Amino acid sequence: MKILLVEDDAAQLQPLHQALSKAGHGVDAVVDGETAQKLMCDRTYDLLVLDWMLPQISGLALCEQYRRLGKTTPVLFLTAKDTILDKVTGLNAGADDYLVKPVNLMEFLARVRALGRRSPLWVGDYLSLGELELNLDTLKLQHQNASVQLSGREFQLMEYLLRHPRQVLSRNQIERALWEWDMQPDSKAVAILVHRLRQRLQSIQAHGWLQTVYGIGYRLAIPETES
């Protein structure tokens, strides 16, 4: 998933960021509410992980603003506030889940996965399109009886495409989904990554699934020979 992680304590931000990245997620990590607010307006996320107490704008206020805009992306609160009233306040603000600090990384990743399962495309531990399946645990891509192991970045692109099937996605959209907000990838990075993923697809007899729409971008769709 593409995740916005907002935590002002660097000692807590770093391990959370690392754990999410190792699990194959794309993460935009920021330390204040104002930057988070700008990214929430400018980018699309599959999950928001918000610390309650933040500089400039609190996580609670961010969540309330986000819900008023009609956004339905799941929100996970991280906070030292542990009373029943605090939890009720957070949930009433629009949060979907709540973790009290200090955060156990195994539990944190389990909560993230549980919120990710709310995607209508999630089937068990897989995302699928036709006979093409992506295992979200092992990062393996399978077509019929063949499978291939993906790298972290290949997995992120494959997941993004499967969460937006048949949609034409521009290079800019892919860059924003896969690279962090403060990174500027090489101008050929997306094209190179698409080429590598096509090779992986071809190795499992999934020819023609990743299509180029010239002058616009790329899309994942079932070829006519398999539809």
Give the model confidence (pLDDT) of 7-23 as tens digits. 988 889 999 999 998 88
Residue 122's pLDDT is what?
54
Please give the Cα distance from 66 to 164 (Å, whole number): 22
What residue spans define the domains of the chain?
Answer: 2-116, 122-220
Please give the Cα distance from 89 to 227 (Å, whole number): 48
Residue 119's pLDDT is what?
55
Residue 161's pLDDT is what?
92
**How many other C-beta atoms are found inside a 10 Å radius of the C-beta of residue 54?**
23
Joined tokens for residue 227? 């539809």
Strands 75-79 and 47-51: parallel
Residue 165's pLDDT is what?
86
> Looking at the domain 122-220, which fold is it?
Arc Repressor Mutant, subunit A (1.10.10)
**Collapsing DSSP states into helix, strand and coil, what is residue 211?**
strand
Please give the Cα distance from 53 to 220 (Å, whole number): 40
> Looking at the domain 2-116, which fold is it?
Rossmann fold (3.40.50)
Residue 26's pLDDT is what?
84
By CB atoms closer than 10 A (0-12, 13-18, 19+), residue 132 is buried
What is the residue type of 11? A
Relative orientation angle of helices 105-116 and 10-22, to the nearest 10 degrees: 60
Enumerate the β-bridge partners of residue 147: 142
Please give the Cα distance from 67 to 150 (Å, whole number): 35
Q: Which residue ranges of the chain lie beneath pLDDT 50?
A: 121
